[in-house]
A and B are shown apart, each in its own frame.
Chain A
């Protein structure tokens, strides 16, 4: 009895502490706030949500049965279905869902101030993202580990299944393009960053050979050796940067780097998995987990002050990083970290085949998403501990602030954020770069933030090393996603064309491999190319498009969940997945509508296309740039079409789900 009261008191104290931290963050204005409040609010909310909400969903909504045999036990073989320890499944699941998204999204959304992103990451994760991951994991487990596409086809119909397939392919294409752009922007005219990222390729190949032929399958020791080599590559990058001869080999503009990435993507998709993709993945998982843990420890011990205001004037939609107002664009910009449809592809199909007991579903489905949300909080902290002037100088594209440092500084100062040319030059020098202006995409500003935090924790004389380590850390798993995504796209394409020409469906037939890889690479390569030649930085277009596609997939996953709950006579609990679904429908529809039809040329695709056409007609565009401008106009129209297509898919799935749930009840 006393123990019970004691437990209750602990939870009440935790709730009070969480409320205090949350209100401190929410009510703080015009004064700096310590990052510890962010961590405190996040941890308290996660613990309470996990203890009460996830448990309630498990017990009442899903009715998890710990005595029921999971597919891993019933269908155990030595291939797919392998009962695995819960912590190992948790580790695999988390490593699979946590990509670069939770690092990039919150950094970009920091243009609105720290508060909107912070609130959305916390609320979105506990009420939306974690619920989606957990329910999808549960429903897939109860269906022998079926994938989201299969469940959508079974539960909603052919339309739902096809929509999720097309949605997945589209997300893949846009995601790879935007991530490629992030890496390009981090490497442009930076010999140190370029040489370090380039060195990860031979390192991965060496580890691949080691794992296959020297010490087969010894992943742990190979990862440790690879990690040592990566650190060496960061150090060697510094030496290359200081050598007048060597640095010229790695000093390239965006377009050259974009072509290099496109060529690399094609090679990675065609080469055997063991040679490049698999070893890179082992290395990136190792580096990712290690860096995230060290960053968390550094933030907790250093307790840095947040410099960004709670809200900036850019909530009105005039932000330099991407156009669009706070609603709906903060909810589109931060997908991974709050709610990400992509997770449902991991939570179905892969993880359920390893689960040895249903009772671990909340821990793995809900818990891993909370941890990813925590990574997003740390990324937000790393971005907002920077002086706002510096943050905007790094992240604002040339098209907004101009190509000259003086113009950029004037513009940023006119927004009320103090920064000088000298400060930016000193910062670039400290980070081992020639310039940090207009390094859009989020990776460089996050790297500067991380370098500052690591520098304070471990010594400021190594700032440049920390900066390039952070760039390497981001690039290595961005490139893994790029490799893996291109390969998955290739398989999907081979499968689809294989229905018409069966020989093409043979995944090991070389002409099919080369042709399908070339098609997939051309798709994302096109968007990457356009992103690079776009003076507004490309991120302004590509990231919202990715966000819309990702949230659309989340809506499909939640539609499947809601449909199953309604059909299982659990209408009274359907709000658990239904409410986040309604929110996503509102957000995605509004964002898609604005992206297509807004009259603001930095938001609406069609308005931007019209504006460029008018500029050509009245002779405002130089002759040498007319050809590029035509490409940009075509791209704006194409983006409008894709957005409309995504919107139609979303509404078709939702209407079909409601029709089948209410009118075709089994």
Chain B
């Protein structure tokens, strides 16, 4: 039961974008990216700028 709740929680975090920064840090390490790791706030701002610069919501 606890495992199922944890799974749902992980899924909801992923779906809502709650864990985006954690994923970014993980990706950053994996890609051995040359860019400097962004702070949480910088990353949040960058995510929003990227998300809302195009058509992201429909009719």
Chain A residues with a Cβ under 8 A of chain B: 76-80, 82, 85, 87-88, 91-92, 96-101, 147, 168, 171, 175, 179, 211-212, 216-221, 223, 273-274, 277-278, 281-282, 285-286, 335-336, 340, 342-343, 345-346, 349-350, 480-481, 484-485, 487-488, 491, 507, 546, 550
Chain B residues with CB under 8 Å of A87's CB are 11, 15
Residue ID in chain B nearest A208 by CB atoms: B48
Chain A residues with CB under 8 Å of B11's CB are 87-88
24 CB < 8 A contacts A-B: A76-B27, A82-B27, A85-B14, A87-B11, A88-B15, A91-B15, A96-B56, A97-B58, A99-B58, A175-B59, A179-B59, A211-B44, A212-B44, A216-B21, A219-B17, A219-B20, A220-B18, A221-B18, A273-B48, A274-B48, A336-B59, A340-B58, A481-B58, A488-B55
Residue B50 interfacial (CB < 8 Å): yes
Chain A residues with CB under 8 Å of B35's CB are 78
A112 to B31, CA, bound (A): 57
Among B15, B31, B40, the residue within 8 A (CB) of A217 is B40
A340 to B57, CA, bound (A): 13
* A77-B31, A78-B28 known; A88 vs B14 contact (CB < 8 Å): yes
Residue ID in chain A nearest B9 by CB atoms: A220
Among B12, B13, B33, B58, the residue within 8 A (CB) of A78 is B33
Please determine whether A336 and B33 come into contact, CB atoms closer than 8 angstroms.
no
| Interface core residue of B31, B47, B53, B59 (most chain A CB under 10 Å) | B59
Chain B residues with CB under 8 Å of A336's CB are 58-59
Chain A residues with CB under 8 Å of B18's CB are 217-221
Interface residues of B in 18-54 (CB under 8 A from A): 18, 20-21, 23-24, 27-28, 31, 33, 35, 40-41, 43-54
Chain B residues with CB under 8 Å of A99's CB are 57-59
A78 to B27, CA, bound (A): 6
Please determine whether A223 and B16 come into contact, CB atoms closer than 8 angstroms.
yes
* A76-B31, A216-B40 known; A350 vs B16 contact (CB < 8 Å): no
Among B43, B51, B53, the residue within 8 A (CB) of A278 is B51
A78 to B15, CA, bound (A): 17
Chain A residues with CB under 8 Å of B44's CB are 211-212, 216-217, 274
* Total count of chain B residues near the partner, CB < 8 A: 36
A-B contact sample (4 more), CB < 8 A, given A99-B57, A481-B59? A85-B14, A96-B56, A278-B52, A336-B59
Residue ID in chain A nearest B11 by CB atoms: A87
Chain B residues with CB under 8 Å of A218's CB are 18
Please determine whether B58 and A342 come into contact, CB atoms closer than 8 angstroms.
yes
Chain A residues with CB under 8 Å of B59's CB are 99-101, 171, 175, 179, 335-336, 340, 342, 481, 546, 550
Taking the closest CB of chain A, its distance from the CB of B11, in whole angstroms, is 7
Please determine whether B27 and A480 come into contact, CB atoms closer than 8 angstroms.
no
Please determine whether B54 and A350 come into contact, CB atoms closer than 8 angstroms.
yes
- Of all A-B residue pairs in the complex, the 8 with the closest CB atoms, nearest first, are A101-B59, A220-B18, A484-B57, A216-B40, A78-B27, A91-B15, A219-B16, A219-B18
Interface of A, secondary structure class, is helix
Taking the closest CB of chain B, its distance from the CB of A309, in whole angstroms, is 29
Residue ID in chain A nearest B33 by CB atoms: A78
Residue ID in chain B nearest A104 by CB atoms: B59
A269 to B18, CA, bound (A): 25
Please determine whether A217 and B20 come into contact, CB atoms closer than 8 angstroms.
yes
Chain A residues with CB under 8 Å of B23's CB are 82
Residue ID in chain B nearest A84 by CB atoms: B14
| Interface core residue of A216, A217, A340 (most chain B CB under 10 Å) | A217
Taking the closest CB of chain B, its distance from the CB of A170, in whole angstroms, is 13
Please determine whether B52 and A273 come into contact, CB atoms closer than 8 angstroms.
yes
Residue ID in chain B nearest A282 by CB atoms: B16
A282 to B49, CA, bound (A): 15
Chain B residues with CB under 8 Å of A480's CB are 57
* A78-B33, A80-B50, A219-B18 known; A345 vs B40 contact (CB < 8 Å): no
Residue ID in chain A nearest B28 by CB atoms: A78
Please determine whether A96 and B27 come into contact, CB atoms closer than 8 angstroms.
no
| Interface core residue of B13, B35, B50, B58 (most chain A CB under 10 Å) | B58
Please determine whether A220 and B16 come into contact, CB atoms closer than 8 angstroms.
yes
Please determine whether A488 and B54 come into contact, CB atoms closer than 8 angstroms.
yes
Residue ID in chain A nearest B40 by CB atoms: A216
A487 to B23, CA, bound (A): 28
* A223-B16, A278-B51 known; A345 vs B21 contact (CB < 8 Å): no
| Interface core residue of B41, B43, B49, B57 (most chain A CB under 10 Å) | B57
Among B21, B47, B57, the residue within 8 A (CB) of A96 is B57
Chain A residues with CB under 8 Å of B17's CB are 217, 219
Chain B residues with CB under 8 Å of A97's CB are 58
Please determine whether B55 and A345 come into contact, CB atoms closer than 8 angstroms.
yes
Taking the closest CB of chain A, its distance from the CB of B47, in whole angstroms, is 8
Chain A residues with CB under 8 Å of B33's CB are 77-78
Taking the closest CB of chain B, its distance from the CB of A13, in whole angstroms, is 31
Please determine whether A98 and B48 come into contact, CB atoms closer than 8 angstroms.
no
A481 to B55, CA, bound (A): 10
Residue ID in chain B nearest A175 by CB atoms: B59
Taking the closest CB of chain A, its distance from the CB of B38, in whole angstroms, is 9
Chain A residues with CB under 8 Å of B52's CB are 273, 277-278, 484, 487
Please determine whether A345 and B48 come into contact, CB atoms closer than 8 angstroms.
no
Chain B residues with CB under 8 Å of A487's CB are 52
Among B12, B27, B31, B56, the residue within 8 A (CB) of A350 is B56
